[in-house]
Amino acid sequence: MKKLLYVALLAVGVIIMIAPPVAAQEEKPFTLHGEVRFRGEYDSNTQDFDDHSDDGALFWPYRVRIAAEGKFTKNVSAWIEFQNASVAGGDIVGFNPTHTGSDFAGVSGNGAELYQGNMTLDQLWSKNFSLRIGRQEIVAGNELLLGDLDFYSGLSHDGGVGTWHIKKVNLMVWYTRPFEGSVTGFADNFLPPDQIGFGSSPSTRHFWCGYATWTWNKDQTFDVYLMDLINRGTGGDMQTFGARYAHDTNRGFFWDVEIAKQAGTTASDFISGTKVDANGQAIEGWFGYALKSGKNTHRFYGRLEQASGDKTSSGGKNEGFQPLFGDFHNRLGRGDWFQMADTTTGLAGGISGGIQGLSAGYNGFYQDRHEFGVAIWKYTLEEDNGAASDKLGSATDIWYGFNYSRNVTFSASLSQLSPDDALTALTGGTDDKVTRLYGQARLRF
Judging by DSSP bridges, how do beta strands 157-166 and 220-231 pair with one another?
Answer: unpaired
Query: Are 354 and 307 spatial neighbours (Cβ–Cβ below 8 Å)?
Result: yes
Q: How far apart are CA 216 and CA 222, in angstroms?
A: 7
pLDDT confidence tier of residue 362, bands split at 50, 70 and 90: very high
Q: How far apart are CA 156 and CA 146, in angstroms?
A: 10
Cβ neighbour number for residue 140 with a 10 Å cutoff: 21
More confident residue, 74 or 369: 369
In the chain, what percentage of residues exceed pLDDT 90? 62
45 Rama sector, left if φ>0, alpha if ψ -120 to 50, beta otherwise: left
- What pLDDT, on a 0 to 100 scale, did the predictor assign at position 125? 84
Q: Summarize pLDDT for 399-441 with one digit per residue, the tens.
A: 999 999 999 999 999 999 999 999 999 888 888 999 999 999 9
170: β partners: 165, 213
Triad 156, 161, 166: Cα angle to 5°: 130
- What pLDDT, on a 0 to 100 scale, did the predictor assign at position 199? 67
pLDDT confidence tier of residue 200, bands split at 50, 70 and 90: low
Q: How far apart are CA 275 and CA 445, in angstroms?
A: 50
Q: What is the 3-state secondary structure (H, E, C) of the chain?
A: CHHHHHHHHHHHHHHHHHHHHHHHCCCCCEEEEEEEEEEEEEEECCCCCCCCCCCCEEECEEEEEEEEEEEEECCEEEEEEEEEEEECCECCCCCEECCCHHHCCEECCCCCEEEEEEEEEECCCCCCEEEEEEEECCCCCCCCCECCCCCCCCCCEEEEEEEEEECCEEEEEEEEEEECCCECCHHHHHCCHHHCCECCCCCCEEEEEEEEEEEEECCEEEEEEEEEEEECCCEEEEEEEEEEEEECCCCEEEEEEEEEEEEEEEECHHHHCCCEEECCEEEEEEEEEEEEECCEEEEEEEEEEEECCCCCCCCCEECCCCCCECCCCCCCCCCCCCCCCCEEECHHHCEECCEEEEEEEEEEEECCCEEEEEEEEEEECCCCCCCCCCEEEEEEEEEEEEECCCCEEEEEEEEEEEECHHHHHHHCCCCCCEEEEEEEEEEEC
Amino acid at 214: W
Q: How far apart are CA 87 and CA 58, in angstroms?
A: 11
- What pLDDT, on a 0 to 100 scale, did the predictor assign at position 67? 96
Among 23-27, 165-169, 181-185, 352-356, where is mean pLDDT lowest? 23-27
Among 183-187, 225-229, 261-265, where is mean pLDDT lowest? 183-187
pLDDT confidence tier of residue 26, bands split at 50, 70 and 90: very low
- What pLDDT, on a 0 to 100 scale, did the predictor assign at position 25? 46
Per the prediction, the chain carries an average pLDDT of 87
- What pLDDT, on a 0 to 100 scale, did the predictor assign at position 325? 94
pLDDT confidence tier of residue 277, bands split at 50, 70 and 90: very high
Among 105-109, 279-283, 318-322, where is mean pLDDT lowest? 105-109
- What pLDDT, on a 0 to 100 scale, did the predictor assign at position 18? 47
Which range is most confident: 41-45, 159-163, 180-184, 341-345? 159-163
Which range is most confident: 94-103, 193-202, 255-264, 265-274? 255-264
Show the domains of the chain with their CATH numbers.
2-119+245-444 (2.40.160)
Which range is most confident: 9-13, 22-26, 37-41, 165-169? 37-41
Cβ neighbour number for residue 323 with a 10 Å cutoff: 22
pLDDT confidence tier of residue 203, bands split at 50, 70 and 90: confident
- What pLDDT, on a 0 to 100 scale, did the predictor assign at position 184? 64
Q: How far apart are CA 68 and CA 435, in angstroms?
A: 39
Does the pLDDT value for residue 153 go beyond 50? yes
Triad 268, 270, 272: Cα angle to 5°: 60
pLDDT confidence tier of residue 100, bands split at 50, 70 and 90: very low
- What pLDDT, on a 0 to 100 scale, did the predictor assign at position 90? 64
Does the pLDDT value for residue 255 go beyond 80? yes
Judging by DSSP bridges, how do beta strands 113-122 and 343-345 pair with one another?
Answer: unpaired
Query: Are 261 and 281 spatial neighbours (Cβ–Cβ below 8 Å)?
Result: yes
- What pLDDT, on a 0 to 100 scale, did the predictor assign at position 13? 54
Mean pLDDT value of segment 145-152: 94
Among 195-199, 209-213, 339-343, where is mean pLDDT lowest? 195-199
pLDDT confidence tier of residue 11, bands split at 50, 70 and 90: low
For the CA atoms of 322, 328, 330, 336, what is the dihedral angle to 10 degrees? 90
